[in-house]
Structure 1
Amino acid sequence: MSKKVFVIWLCICFLCCGCSAMGETGKTQLEESGNSQPQLIIGSDIYRPFFFQDDNGRYVGIDVELAREACRRLGYSPIFKWIDWDNKEEVLESGVVDCLWGSFTMTGREEEYLWAGPYLYTRQVVMVKNTGGILNLSDLEGKKVAVQIGSKPEGYFLNPAAACKVSRVITFSTLDEVVTALKHNYADAAAGHESALAEYMQEEPGMYRILEEGLMSVQLGVAFVKDGDQEMADVLTEALDEMCEDGTTEKIVEKYGLNPQALVWGGEAKGHD
């Protein structure tokens, strides 16, 4: 890491610490009911509106509610564990968590994990400040883009064949840090899941906008170790499919102010194959 990039990273971490009160990393939360049931330990980082903590320190979000309902149907008790996303492979392989479930893109990673799903669809997009002159992806030429480390946008912009050649890709551990870099002009743009970035737009109306042209459309899934329990992945996929078909997933998505047609059905009419 260059000295300049390290200084930027240090400043962003300081700013994020000042505006964040999410508790201690690695906090585990056991559901109150069903403690005699088999447990499913679910790992994720803080990623609004999918996985975060409310004012009482309880884990909430789209993925948290989907997991609670799927586990209820399968007779499991979910345990939610906040992990360092940089170390997700390590905590999964070591058995610290049973699965990764937090707006995790399975598209392009199909052979890296054993997957349950897909259960939601989303786009990877670019968010910029309203005051800037960036209107299209082509306007990112020579600009600095902030992304979460290991994310699909990071791979997109670091690809030599990428359509737009940015001057620098700055990586951070969390999406909070990514957006903070944009807010304080350490980066010209931030890239990530559209539904997650929309949360930041709602928090500060008029400050940001998302470019109409997306980077890619992706599917979200629940990741288990590659040689893991195939039966568990299969029954979880079945439960998630049932939740889509009976309207449960749509209700949860709508509760968090997102468009179910896009997120649940990928922009297609309900009941698509």
Structure 2
Amino acid sequence: MKKHRRGLRLAACLLALAMCAALLCSCGRTGKTDDYTAAMPVIVVGSDNYPPFNYMGTDGAPTGIDVELATEAFGRLGYRVKFVTIDWEKKKELVENDTIDCIWGSFSMDGREEEYQWAGPYLHSRQVVAVRSDSDIRTLQDLADKVVAVQSTTKPEELFLNAEQNGLPRLRRLYSLQNRDLLYTTLLKGYADALAAHESAIRQFMKDYSVEYRILDEPLMTARLGVAFAKERGDDLPQQLTEVFQEMLADGTVRQIVSRYLDDPEHYLDGLEDSTHA
């Protein structure tokens, strides 16, 4: 089966090269990367603004960990990536009606295994709670009768909506916000006592805006990050992408990309590289 899949990947790459050669001949251009990538079939990736995983660079083009990983991984499979910004609350509908080919944006696989076909995991990420530096909240249990802000349809929202079965205290109020950036404003202005999100995203915000939050030592959970495809997708692209992730973990590509954005890549790889050699 693996030989068959690699054969398909090789065929896709050869097809892309052939298309590129034809394009170069017809246009009279030689040796241009733009011509090569233009000849590749396109994969449309749906994501939202979520630094350091996906955000607009100074040149107005998408950049970030997930953007670089997607470009490299799909490139190895013979595809060109197009990132589009989506309403995160509608992600499942968009991937099921083929508006996008996959969802890729620091997306937790855990608890959603049956909702999508998954590629991954390619990273681990801690879901954590952050408070203002002067807060008296020190543990998750200190959140009892407090107000917490989360992004809607995310893992922290799910955990707090089912607080009792997840061993979390009952909140006074849970703010589920569509716009991720409002999480930080809500905490800064004192409308919420705490916020919950991916640790990497919180640290990126603190770095970008010189804001100091205190992250609780105890995480809500450690999540596996993956790429979600429609449950009824008929080809084996998710499995091919999983195999490419394993190659990129083994050859150090994932570590190299993550280290450009995060200071402690080991924290996010956490055994994934070792598993590729098992």
TM-score (normalised: structure 1): 0.84
Question: 8 Å contact 2:163–2:169 — kept in the other structure?
Answer: no
1:173 is aligned, of 173, 178, 183, to: 178
Percentage of pairs with the same residue: 44
Runs (5+) with no aligned partner, structure 1: 1-30
229, 238, 241: which one aligns with 1:236: 241
Structure number with greater Rg is: 2
Letter in 2 for 1:130: S
Instruction: Determine if contact 2:131/2:195 at 8 Å carries over to the other structure.
Output: yes
Provide structure 2 residue ranges, at least 5 long, that are not aligned to the other structure: 1-32
Q: Does 1:114 align with 2:104?
A: no
User: SS of the counterpart of 2:207?
Assistant: helix
Structure that is richer in helix per residue: 2
Q: What one-letter code is carried by the residue in structure 2 that aligns with 1:232? A: L
Contact 2:122 2:272 in 1 (8 A): no
Match of 1:131 among 126, 129, 134: 134
Instruction: Give the ranges of 4+ consecutive aligned residues of structure 1 lying more than 6 Å apart after TM superposition.
Output: none
SS in 2 for 1:57: coil
* Aligned counterparts of 1:257 and 1:90: Cα–Cα separation in 2: 32
Separation in 2, partners of 1:56, 1:87: 28
Q: Please tell me whether residue 215 in structure 1 is matched to residue 220 in structure 2.
A: yes
Q: Which residue of 1 aligns with 2:261?
A: 256
Cα deviation per residue 1:9-65 (whole Å; 9 max; x = unaligned)? xxxxxxxxxxxxxxxxxxxxxx95512211110000100100100122110000000
Q: TM-score, normalised by structure 2?
A: 0.83
Instruction: Write out aligned runs for 1:49-198 (5 A).
Output: 49-161=52-164, 162-198=167-203
CA RMSD of aligned residues (A): 1.6
Number of equivalenced pairs: 241
CA shift at 1:139, angstroms?
1.2
CA distance in 1, matches of 2:109, 2:231: 13
Distance 1:51 1:189 in 2: 24
Distance of 1:261 and 1:108 partners within structure 2: 24
Distance 1:239 1:174 in 2: 32
- Taking the aligned partners of 1:184 and 1:230, their CA distance within structure 2 comes to 48
Look up the SS of the partner of 1:104 in the other structure.
strand
CA shift at 1:163, angstroms? 2.4
**d(CA) in 2 for partners of 1:46, 1:142:** 31
Contact (CA 8 Å) 1:121, 1:217: kept in 2 or not?
yes
1:131 CA drift (Å): 1.4
Q: Could you say what secondary structure the match of 1:243 adopts?
A: helix
Once residues 159 and 236 of structure 1 are traced to their aligned partners in structure 2, the CA distance between those partners, rounded to angstroms, is: 33
